[in-house]
Amino acid sequence: MVALALYDALWKRCSMADLANHIEEDLNWREAELASFKILVSAAQKGSVRERALLRALWALLYAHYEGFCKYAWDLYLDALEELGIVRHACRSRIACFSLEREFKQLRGNLSPESLWDFYTHEFPDLLSQHATFQIKLETQSNLWPDLFRENARKISLPTKMLDANEIRIKTLVARRNDIAHGKKTIVKSLHEYQEYENAVLLVMHELAIAMIEALDQKLFLK
C-alpha cells in the first residue's frame, strides 16, 4: 500500500496529460500527412504514371509512419517508467527482465560456474532493489514485422490484439514497402486497395497508444 501511494504521487508529477498530449500530437501529424498525400493521389488521372508513382510513395509513407510511431511510443513509455523510479522487484517480471537486458548480455560473456554464482548471489539481488532503467531500447530493425512487434510488446507487457487481427495486412505492408525501397516494380492498384492497409495500421497504432496510457494510468506495470 505504501508503494502504491508513492507511485500515485510520482505519477501526478509525471503528468499523464502531458504524455497523452505527446501521443495525440504525434498521431495527428502522421494522419494529417497521410491524408494530404491521398488528396494528391485522388487528383491524379486514373491509371496514369503519376497515380501509380504516388500510390507507391504513399505505401512507403504509410510504413514509415507505422514504424516511426511505434518506436516513438515505445521510447516514450520506457522514459515514463524510468521517470517513476520504480524498483525492479515491484515491476511485472517481463518489464523487470527487459530492464536488465544489458546486464544479462554482459553475463553471457562469462558463464563459468563461479561467475554465475557471484551474479545470482551478489549482483542480482542488488539489481532487483534498484530503479528500473532501460539502457537497451526496443528496436524496429527497419523492418517492423508482426513477430518483432509482438516480441517488443511482450517485453513490456502490452497487448497486441489489433496486430494479431491484422497480421496478414501488416506483413504485406512491410513486404511491399521493402520491394518499393529496393526498386522493384510493385504496383498498388488503387487508393481503395491502399485504404484497407491504412485502416489496419491505424488500428494497431491507436491500440498501442491506448494500451500504453491505460498501463500507466492503471499501474499495469506493477506486479
pLDDT tens, residue by residue, 97-122: 999 999 998 898 888 988 889 999 98
Does residue 50 sit within a domain?
yes
pLDDT tens, residue by residue, 158-199: 999 999 999 999 999 999 999 999 999 999 999 999 999 999
pLDDT at 20: 87
Radius of gyration of the chain (CA): 21
Q: Which domain holds residue 20?
A: 2-91+138-217
pLDDT at 98: 97
Does residue 99 sit within a domain?
no
Spell out a b/e string for 92-117, using b for 16 or more CB atoms within 10 Å of the CB, else e.
Answer: eeebbebbbeeeeeebeeeeeeeeee
Does residue 207 sit within a domain?
yes
Does residue 144 sit within a domain?
yes
pLDDT at 18: 80
The whole-model pTM stands at: 0.90
Q: How far apart are CA 6 and CA 142, in angstroms?
A: 39
Average pLDDT of the segment spanning 130-155: 96
- Decide if 56 contacts 186 (C-beta within 8 A): yes
Does residue 205 sit within a domain?
yes
Bridge partners for 87 per DSSP: 131
Average pLDDT of the segment spanning 207-217: 94
Q: What percent of the chain has pLDDT over 90?
A: 83
Domains in the chain: how many in total? Answer: 1
Does residue 97 sit within a domain?
no
Does residue 108 sit within a domain?
no
pLDDT tens, residue by residue, 10-46: 555 455 678 888 999 999 999 999 999 999 999 999 9
Does residue 12 sit within a domain?
yes
DSSP states of the chain as a string?
A: -HHHHHHHHHHHHH-HHHHHHHHHHHHHHHHHHHHHHHHHHHHSPTT-HHHHHHHHHHHHHHHHHHHHHHHHHHHHHHHHHHHHT-BGGGB-HHHHHHHTHHHHHHHTT---HHHHHHIIIIIHHHHHTSBP--SS----TT---HHHHHHHHHHTT---HHHHHTHHHHHHHHHHHHHHHTT-------HHHHHHHHHHHHHHHHHHHHHHHHHHHTTTTB-
